[in-house]
Structure 1
Amino acid sequence: MARSVLHPAATRGHANHGWLNSYHTFSFAGYYEPQRMHFGALRVLNDDTVAGGMGFGRHPHDNMEIVSIALAGALEHQDNMGNKAVIRPGDVQVMSAGTGVAHSEKNHSAGEEVQFLQIWVIPNKRNVAPRYDQQTFRAEDQHNRLQQVLSPNADDEGVWLHQDAWFHLGQLDAGFGTEYQLKKAGNGVYAFVLEGDVTINGQALHRRDGLGIWETDKLAIRADSAARLLLMEVPMLG
């Protein structure tokens, strides 16, 4: 029988620094909750809003797969690999930190907020060569469909990372129902409701709620209102 863990939006860690308003699904920075360290290989799920003209100065990472998904506004990225890019809604960025990378992220606009998800996935290979990738996905390709935006395979749909993980995004009309079939036995899925109301395996979810499900091979999904949904399938790591 499937097992699950529910994380209502209001139970997330929260830090408002003025220029940065951040909600943490899992323990991060000043938010520490022993029961919420990770979901399998999914280590960080931060829901960040950055004020105009502000951002994160250059800082290092290593041995982590870092995914950014823009929700509103524009996020500017620079790193010591020579990459400079702007991430806008529809874009998914991945950075394999591997042996070490330093990057900065700031609001590309002086006047408008930027909203984005920063997601960390524990890799299945350590000390890989650092790498960067970014792709744009059309909203119409996610209409009443779970579009794959990330996988373990460079030749598959979406960006890729060093883990047996698959991410899907969907823009679902009220009343639309579908199934998600897990890609790999032993994996779990963490569902995060970006907008609207969704029922997954009988559990009602609302905006910014999270639900982790494992020991199952499929999910039953129904949109109870117009909704946007992110599914993150990851290994459960024992």
Structure 2
Amino acid sequence: MPPGPVRPSPLVEQAAARLRAQIAAGEWPVGTKLPGETTLATELGVARSTVREALRALAGAGLVRPRQGAGVFVVATEAAEDWPTRLRRAAATDVYEVRMGVEVQAARLAASRRTPEDVTALERALEARRVASGADDIAFVDADIAFHAAVVAAAHNPVLADLFGQFTPVLREGPVELLALTELRAHDPNTGDDAHEALVRAVAEGDAETAAEVLRAELGDPFGEQGARRGVTRTAEGPE
């Protein structure tokens, strides 16, 4: 039974939701060609341009795929998870493995491409991290992430910057919980300061390999040797 006309505001979202529901209900099984834009527009009571945009949204969600000269076909009944959702569900160890690849390369590039303004930004971020050592764990982790974001920014690669930005919510949760459980900062409020200072120095001096190595070691033991001595590890469930 064809659906009734949708109401305005906003039409594209409503049309996409209606088509998504029909696909999920099995009205058009996987492999089925959808009716043409004119037919769908009539059924939904909207313009063809609205249907076209709705189909683009469904294609972006991985539900349909247009085939040139053949039409639009259903390829899945459930939308694929977006990248932020997948990151939130990922094991912390998996995220950190990818983070290391992104940031180590960013550090290497930062040392090669840094500008005087980048060096200044890194020095300020390092000082802000030191100031945050007198605050609570959340503020300290936020300052630490801001420092690492400054390193990535100095690489002048927008793709690396976008990837790091996607990681940020996940990066924030694990360390906050870890610091609270282990009380590492009770012994060293500014834990990891030496490594961060060495990284700034390597980037400022244009030493790409040292910058990469310092960051690789720092991410391998993000809260210093105390964490390693205490046997702290990250798992999908969080710190042990």
Q: Same fold by TM (over 0.5)?
A: no
Give the alignment's TM-score, normalised by structure 2: 0.21
Larger radius of gyration: 2
Structure having the larger proportion of residues in strand: 1
Give the alignment's TM-score, normalised by structure 1: 0.21
Structure having the larger proportion of residues in helix: 2
